[in-house]
A = this chain, B = another copy of it.
Amino acid sequence: MADFQNLGEFSKNNEAYVAGFASGGKPMPPARKALLITCMDARIHPEKALGVDIGDIHTVRNAGGRAVDALRSVTISQQLLGTTEIYVVHHTDCGMVTFSTPQLQSIVKEKLGHEDHTHYHEFSDSEQSVRDDIKLLRESPLVIPGTPIKGGIYDVNTGKITWLD
C-alpha cells in the first residue's frame, strides 16, 4: 500500500477550498481568452501572480515552461476553446540551468538502469529561453499566425514578473 505523505493534508485543505468555492457553473472556454505557459517550479503560483479568477485562463506548465511540450495543448486551447493570446513566463533560479541532457541521461541510467534518450530541453539563460520559445510558437504551423505572444521572467524571490520587449 503506497504511503502518501501529503494526501491527508491535501484532502483537508481541499475541504476548505470547497467551502469557499463560489465559482461553479463557469463555462469551459477561458473568459480572458488567454493561455499561460510557465514552469512547474514550486515557487510560482500562476493564478495568484496574475490575479486571475476561476475560469479566466488556461495554464500549461512543465519543466522550464518549454513551448515544445505545450504545442498539443496550445492547439486545443486555440482551435477548440478560443484563446487568442499567449504568455510565456520563465523564471529566475530555474532548475533547467543546473544540468545538461547527457548528465541527466547518465543519472537515469545509473539510478533506473535504463538507456534514456529524452531531450530534457534545459537552457542556460531564462530570457533567451523565453525568446526561443516565442520563436518556436511563432514558427509552428499549429499556432494561429499573428497570435500575440508576450514573454516574461518571474522572480522567485519577489514574485515580480518582468515583461520582455
Which residues 50-102 of A have a CB within 8 angstroms of B?
50-52, 54-63, 69-73, 75-77, 79-81, 84-85, 87, 93, 95-96, 98-99
Given contacts A14-B50, A17-B48, A57-B42, A150 and B4 within 8 Å (CB-CB): yes
Cα A39 to Cα B128 in complex, Å, equals: 27
Cα A28 to Cα B44 in complex, Å, equals: 11
Cα A63 to Cα B12 in complex, Å, equals: 27
The answer to whether A60 and B58 touch across the interface, beta carbons within 8 angstroms, is no
Q: Which residues of B contact A61 (CB under 8 A)?
A: 59-62
A156 adjacent to chain B (CB < 8 Å): yes
The answer to whether B142 and A114 touch across the interface, beta carbons within 8 angstroms, is yes
Cα A149 to Cα B1 in complex, Å, equals: 11
Contacts beyond the supplied A2-B149, A28-B43, A111-B144: 13 A-B pairs with Cβ under 8 Å: A5-B84, A11-B163, A16-B51, A21-B158, A28-B42, A42-B59, A61-B62, A69-B72, A75-B116, A76-B104, A79-B107, A79-B111, A108-B142
